[in-house]
Chains A and B, each alone.
Chain A
Amino acid sequence: MRLAIREGGAIGTALGFFLVVVSLMPLGLGPDLNLLARIAAGILWIALLLAALLSLNRIFEADYEDGTLDVLATGPLPLELVTVAKSLAHWITTGIPLAIMAPVLGILLNLDLAAYPVLVATTLLGTPAVSFLGAIGAALTMKTRRGGLLLAVIVLPLYVPTLIFGISAVAAGAGPSGFGASFLILAAISLTTIVLGPLAAAAALKVQLQ
């Protein structure tokens, strides 16, 4: 985990990608600030998902290539816990930086200032689901060559609930009602994926390592 931070490359790339995608949006949609403010949450969430997706395939691949994964699999720790650790590491090194970066990019999109705390809260709450669901996809596509594209096809449909409730939580939070039900549902999705995601990912890893 610390190694990932020291290497730095992936996080920097993900953050840079996030920045570039978000700043491309006004170029494509026109610089109308009112329009941008209205769709800012959606743009931020989609760009965040894409940025996280970029770094997903490195969750297991590097460890598989240098044999660490084989050692971990034969070690005393159950593979489920290993995947929990790997997914958590991905969340800490990618999810949290992206979530912190989101409000900064929100300024570019003229996002309402009142929505900032909500935006940070929802992205922080939603990104664990992104990491843990992504770990399943990463484990499934570990050995394939065009893994990145395949990973996107497999994982992006699974992100639909996270995206929908992430955005509706921002929308609800910006209104007078404060944190809405969607915020709680987003939390529920994250918690469920934290519990069930590693089981599926570990099952896939076991097949891969046979």
Chain B
Amino acid sequence: MQTLTQRLANPTRFMELSARLLPWISAASAILLAYGLYLAFIDSPADYQQGETVRIMYIHVPCAWLSMMVYGVIAVSSFGLLVFRHPLADVSAKAAAPLGAAFTFLALLTGSLWGKPMWGTYWVWDARLTSVLILFFLYLGLIALRSALEDEGAAAKLTAILALVGVTILPIIKFSVDWWNTLHQPSTDFTSTVDPSMRLPLLVMAAAFTLLFFAMHLKAMRNEILRRRVKALRTQAVAGRDRLAAHATTQGAAE
């Protein structure tokens, strides 16, 4: 009995399945995003204290959630690559890293724009902000390491090792930064403390962003697989041409 991940180990099967899934996920993400944006910007009330700036939260919080979830995806993929040698794990980790960096950057950017009117400054060295910033640096480290290595197989494994080192050290970083300084408002325990009029748009936006990530992730993975196929075909073609050329010269010498 094969599990789903085992069956997906065949890239062709993955391409088929993802081609069928991708339009649905993209459409669902687009619809949810449109609905979420409508709720967030038109239908939800302004906060009695924060005024209209509260609407930044509907983008900021999903981005921040995703920044962590994407690292989780990378970590699971890296584990899958190193332990089970799953052929798609590296493709997944590679495709997810820039997306994660982008969401982390968006979370930092929107947070900073919100911080100016609310806290009176774009940036403070608060625990949350600092740990998200360090998460962003980890993403950059992953991308930089991969781009610096020429051999793709080695790059995949080394990046996976770094990702797993990052996972073990992230809780320590989080804890140490918490110890160090705190200003950011505490977590809302999955929005249970948020007023219902704001919770619905927030949850819709979170779902929309998550689907958006999965759509982009699948698309990026498909691109990566296609890119590798093209590369393999190209090396094959070059090798074939070389063989033909070598053949021709030996024949020419014989004549």
Binding site for B on A (CB under 8 A): 136, 140-141, 143-147, 150, 153-154, 156-158, 160-161, 164-165, 168, 182, 185, 189, 196, 200, 203-204, 207-208, 210
Say whether B158 contacts A208, CB under 8 Å: yes
Contacts of A182 in B (CB 8 A): 179
Q: What 3 A-B pairs are tightest by C-beta distance, nearest first?
A: A161-B176, A144-B148, A157-B137
Say whether A153 contacts B144, CB under 8 Å: yes
| Number of residues on chain B facing chain A (CB within 8 A) | 27
Contacts of A157 in B (CB 8 A): 134, 137-138, 141, 173
Of B23-31, B163-171, B195-203, B209-217, the one with at least 4 CB within 8 A of chain A: B163-171
Q: Does B68 contact A (CB under 8 A)?
A: no
Say whether A158 contacts B169, CB under 8 Å: yes
Q: Which residue of A lies closest to B133 (CB)?
A: A157
User: Smallest Cβ distance from A166 to chain B, in angstroms?
Assistant: 10
**Which of A141, A165, A168 lies in contact with B145, CB distance below 8 A?**
A141
Say whether A140 contacts B168, CB under 8 Å: no
Say whether A200 contacts B161, CB under 8 Å: yes
Binding site for A on B (CB under 8 A): 82, 134, 137-138, 140-141, 144-145, 148-149, 154, 157-158, 161-162, 164-166, 168-169, 172-173, 175-177, 179-180
Q: Which residue of A lies closest to B134 (CB)?
A: A157
Say whether B145 contacts A140, CB under 8 Å: yes
**Which of B158, B161, B169 lies in contact with A161, CB distance below 8 A?**
B169
Q: In the complex, A62→B166 CA distance in Å?
A: 26
Q: Which residue of B lies closest to A188 (CB)?
A: B172
**Which of B82, B148, B175 lies in contact with A150, CB distance below 8 A?**
B148
Say whether B140 contacts A210, CB under 8 Å: no
Q: A143-B149, A154-B141, A200-B165 are in contact. List 15 more A-B contacts (CB 8 A).
A: A146-B148, A150-B144, A153-B137, A153-B144, A154-B145, A157-B137, A164-B176, A164-B180, A165-B179, A168-B179, A200-B161, A203-B161, A207-B154, A208-B154, A208-B158
Q: In the complex, A158→B164 CA distance in Å?
A: 12
Q: Which residue of B lies closest to A158 (CB)?
A: B169
Contacts of B162 in A (CB 8 A): 136, 140, 154
Contacts of B164 in A (CB 8 A): 200
Say whether A207 contacts B161, CB under 8 Å: yes
Contacts of A146 in B (CB 8 A): 148
User: Smallest Cβ distance from B156 to chain A, in angstroms?
Assistant: 9
Q: In the complex, A196→B141 CA distance in Å?
A: 20
Say whether B157 contacts A207, CB under 8 Å: yes
User: Smallest Cβ distance from B123 to chain A, in angstroms?
Assistant: 17
Q: In the complex, A146→B149 CA distance in Å?
A: 10
Say whether B158 contacts A160, CB under 8 Å: no
User: Smallest Cβ distance from A80 to chain B, in angstroms?
Assistant: 14
Q: In the complex, A109→B36 CA distance in Å?
A: 55
Q: In the complex, A195→B149 CA distance in Å?
A: 27
Q: Which residue of A lies closest to B169 (CB)?
A: A158
Say whether B168 contacts A196, CB under 8 Å: yes
Q: In the complex, A208→B82 CA distance in Å?
A: 14
Contacts of B169 in A (CB 8 A): 158, 161
With A150-B144, A153-B140, A207-B161 known as contacts, the answer to whether A160 contacts B149 (CB < 8 A) is no
User: Smallest Cβ distance from B84 to chain A, in angstroms?
Assistant: 15
Say whether A158 contacts B165, CB under 8 Å: yes
A sample of 8 inter-chain contacts (CB < 8 A) reads: A136-B161, A140-B145, A150-B148, A157-B137, A158-B165, A185-B176, A204-B161, A210-B154
Say whether A140 contacts B158, CB under 8 Å: yes
User: Smallest Cβ distance from B246 to chain A, in angstroms?
Assistant: 29
With A161-B169, A165-B176 known as contacts, the answer to whether A140 contacts B144 (CB < 8 A) is no
With A141-B148, A158-B169 known as contacts, the answer to whether A204 contacts B158 (CB < 8 A) is yes
Q: In the complex, A145→B179 CA distance in Å?
A: 38
Q: In the complex, A201→B75 CA distance in Å?
A: 17
Q: Which residue of A lies closest to B154 (CB)?
A: A207
Contacts of A200 in B (CB 8 A): 161, 164-165
User: Smallest Cβ distance from A58 to chain B, in angstroms?
Assistant: 18
Contacts of B154 in A (CB 8 A): 143, 207-208, 210
